[in-house]
Chain A
Amino acid sequence: MSFTRRDLFKMAAVGAAASVGGNLQASDDAYPIDCSQTYGVLVDTVVCIGCRKCEWACNNEHKLSTTDLKTFEDKSVFQQHRRPVDNAYTVVNEFKNPETAKPYTIKVQCMHCNQPACASACIVGALKKNRLGSVDYDAWKCIGCRYCMVACPFQVPAYEYNEALKPRVMKCTFCLDRLEEGRKPACVGICPNEALTFGTREQLIDLAKERIKAKPELYFNHVYGEKEVGGTSWMYLASTDFINTELPKLTNDPIPHTTETIQHGIFKSFVPPLALYGLLGLIMHSLRENKEDKESDDERS
C-alpha cells in the first residue's frame, strides 16, 4: 500500500474539515450553560464573623491537612494577607471598613466564573465549566503549563511546586463530589452564622438584592460577582466598597471574550490555513511555470 501525494492532500483536507467541525462543537459546548440555574454561593461578609471554620472544613474535605479545628481559632493569621495556596483552597482575610473602622472578614476561593478565563487559556482542556456551576480541573489532562494561573483575574489557582513528579494545579473544586450528591459544599455546611448561602445563581442574586434593600445601612449596594467578568458562581456582599479588599475591580466583560473573538474569528471556516496554503500553492505554481518556461527555453536554445 502506497500513498500518492494526492491521497495525502485528500486526507489532510478531511482531517481539517473534521477538526473545524470539532472545534465549533467544542466552542458551542463551552458556554451553552444557563448560568442562572447553575449553583453558586453567596458570601455575606456582613454576617461573616471570621471564625475560619470554612478553612478547616475545606482542608478536611479535600485531605489537604490534618490540623485540628482548634488551631483555626487563632486570629493572629489575620495580620498577614493570605492567598489560596496548594494546601489551602480557601482562606479568610480581615479588612477594616474605612467608614466605621470596624473589621470585616472575606473568604477567598475560586470564584467559579461563568466564563472562566482559566478554561479559555488552558491549551489541553484540563479546566472546564461544569453544568452544576463548578470549574473542574482534570489533573490527568494537565501538562503543567500554568497558563490558567496567569489567566485567572482573581489569581486563584495555585501549583504544587513541592511535588517533583506529579505536580497539579490546586484550586477550590466547589466540592464537586458533594454537589453531584445534591449536598452543599463543606464550607457552606459548617458555617455557624450561615454567612455562606448555597443555591442557584438566580436565587442568590435575588436574595442578595433583598438583603441590601432590607438593610441599606448595613450593606454597600453592590453584589460582587453578579456582573464582574461576565458573572461568577461565588458572589459577595459587603458593608463597604469592595475595591482595595480581596476582590479586584474588574470589567463586566468576560475575560476570554476578546481573545476568543479574535482567535476563533481568524480560524473560523478554516480561512487562514486555506489562504496560507493557497498562497504557497500560487507561489509554487508560479515558480514552477517560470522553471518550465526556462527549461523549455533552454531546450529550444
Chain B
Amino acid sequence: MTKNRLLILFAIVIATGIVALPLLAQRNSPVAMPTTDCTRCHTCEVPTLREPCLKSCPRTEMVHQQGNHNLQDAPDSMLLSQLADLYQPVHFNHKVHASMAQMGTDCATCHHYSPPGKIPPCSDCHSASSESTDLKKPNLKGAYHRQCLSCHREWSHDTKCVLCHIPNVEGLMKSATEDPTDIIGKTHPVITEPVKKVYQTPYKPAPVVTFQHKEHIDLFGFRCVDCHEKENCGNCHDIEQTSKIKKTQEQVHAICNDCHKEDACSKCHDTKERPGFSHNKTGWPLNQYHNQLDCWACHPTGRQISKLNSMCISCHKGWNQANFKHAVTGLLLDEVHAEMECSDCHADHRYEADPKCDDCHDDGRTAKTAPPGMRTKHSGR
C-alpha cells in the first residue's frame, strides 16, 4: 500500500515537472530577438512608442494606398536632375501625364503608394544602389524606367535613351526633340470628347447606331473611365495601327449592356442617324429651374429612367396654397386670382396643362392672351 502511494506521489511530481518546466524555461529565456532588420522599417536606431520614426514605405508587402490628394496641388512640370552629371535634367510634364492617366486608373497609374500627407519620393523606398538584396522591389533605376518606358514603348515602340536623357555633351543636343522642355516633343492637345459617334454595323435590318457621347457624359454623369476603363496610351497613340484588334460582337455589345441589357435592338439600331435626346419629347419640357438639375434629382431610380408623376407636390412635398409663390411660374397673380383655389384654374390639379379661364370668363381668353396678373422675369413652368 505504502509502495503504491509512493508511486502515485512520484508520478505526480514528475507530471508537474513536465508541465512546469517549459513554462519556467519560457519565463527565464530572454526576449526573442526579431529576425528582421530594424532599419527596414525604422529610420532611427532607438525607436520609441512616442517617436517610432517609421519609414514611409509599404513594408512587408506591396501596398496600394491612395490618400486624399488633389491634382491641383501637384506641380505642372518637374525637373528630374539626379543624373545631372551624365545627362541634362529630364523635364517631366506632370500635368499632361496626369490628364492622360484620368483615362486609365488615375493617379494610381504611376503613384502606387500615396499615403495621406506628403507623397513619398520613389527613392524613399526604392534603393539607388544596384546591389540591393530585396528582389521583390525594383531598384530606383528600374522603378523609374518601368514608370516611363512601359507606356512609351507601347505606343512609340521606341526605347531610345535620348527619349528622356539628353547627354551632357555639346553637339548631341539636336538629336533630341525640338522642344527640350516637353517630354513628348509636342504638347498634348486638349482632349475634346465627340458629341456623337455614328456607327455602321453589320446588322442589316437597322445598321445605323447613333451613340450620343456627350449626352452620356452630361445627362447620365458618366466619367471617362466608366467606359474607357481599359484604355492605355497605345490605343490612341500607337504609331503602328496594327495593334488594334477587331472586337467580337459580344465585346462590342458588352459595354452598352451594362445599362441597356433589357432593351430591344431598336433602342440603338436604326435605319438612319438619330437626333439626340430632348426632354420636350417626353411631354414635359424643362423650365429654367428643372433644366439645371441632374437627371437623378428627379429620377432617382438608378440609370433606368421612368415616367414621373406630373403633380408638383409629388416632388415639392411642402407646397400648398398658403406658401406657394405663384411668381416662380413667371406670373405674379393679381389680388383677385390670388384668393382663388388652385383647382379653379388648374382643372384636377393638372399643372402641366394650360389653365382654363372659361369657368368665369366667357370671352374666350386664355392665360396667354390675358394673363391674370403681372409677368415676372421668371418664365414658364
Contacts and interface: CB of A to CB of B under 8 A. Distances in A.
Interface of A: 47, 49-51, 73, 75, 100-103, 189, 191-194, 197, 199, 203-204, 207, 210, 214
A207 B136 contact: yes
B135 A203 contact: yes
A75 B160 CA distance: 10
A102 B159 contact: no
Nearest to A47: B146
Given A73-B160, A192-B149, A102 B142 contact: no
A194 B142 contact: yes
Interface of B: 62, 130, 135-136, 138-139, 141-142, 145-146, 149-150, 153-154, 157-161, 234, 242-245
23 contacts: A49-B145, A49-B149, A49-B150, A49-B159, A50-B159, A51-B159, A75-B157, A100-B243, A103-B243, A189-B130, A192-B145, A192-B149, A193-B149, A193-B150, A194-B139, A194-B141, A194-B146, A197-B135, A203-B135, A204-B135, A207-B135, A207-B136, A214-B62
A101 B243 CA distance: 5
Contact of B150 (A47, A101, A207): A47
A203 B134 CA distance: 10
Contacts of A199: 135
Nearest to B158: A75
Contacts of B234: 102
Contacts of A204: 135
Contacts of B242: 101
B245 A100 contact: yes
A50 B135 contact: no
B260 to A, nearest CB: 26
B243 A192 contact: no
B287 to A, nearest CB: 48
A63 B139 CA distance: 28
B142 A192 contact: yes
Which of A50, A191, A192 has the most C-beta atoms of chain B within 10 angstroms of its own C-beta? A192
Nearest to A196: B142
Contacts of A75: 157-158
A101 B245 contact: yes
Contacts of B160: 73
A73 B159 contact: yes
Contacts of A192: 141-142, 145, 149
A246 B150 CA distance: 21
A193 B187 CA distance: 26
Contacts of A210: 136
A49 B146 CA distance: 9
A50 B139 contact: no
A72 to B, nearest CB: 10
Contacts of A214: 62
Contact of A101 (B141, B142, B244): B244
**In the complex, the 8 A-B pairs of residues with the closest C-beta atoms, listed nearest first:** A194-B142, A51-B159, A192-B145, A101-B245, A49-B153, A194-B138, A49-B149, A193-B145
A132 B146 CA distance: 29
A61 to B, nearest CB: 16
A268 B236 CA distance: 67
Which of A101, A103, A193, A210 has the most C-beta atoms of chain B within 10 angstroms of its own C-beta? A193
A189 B129 CA distance: 12
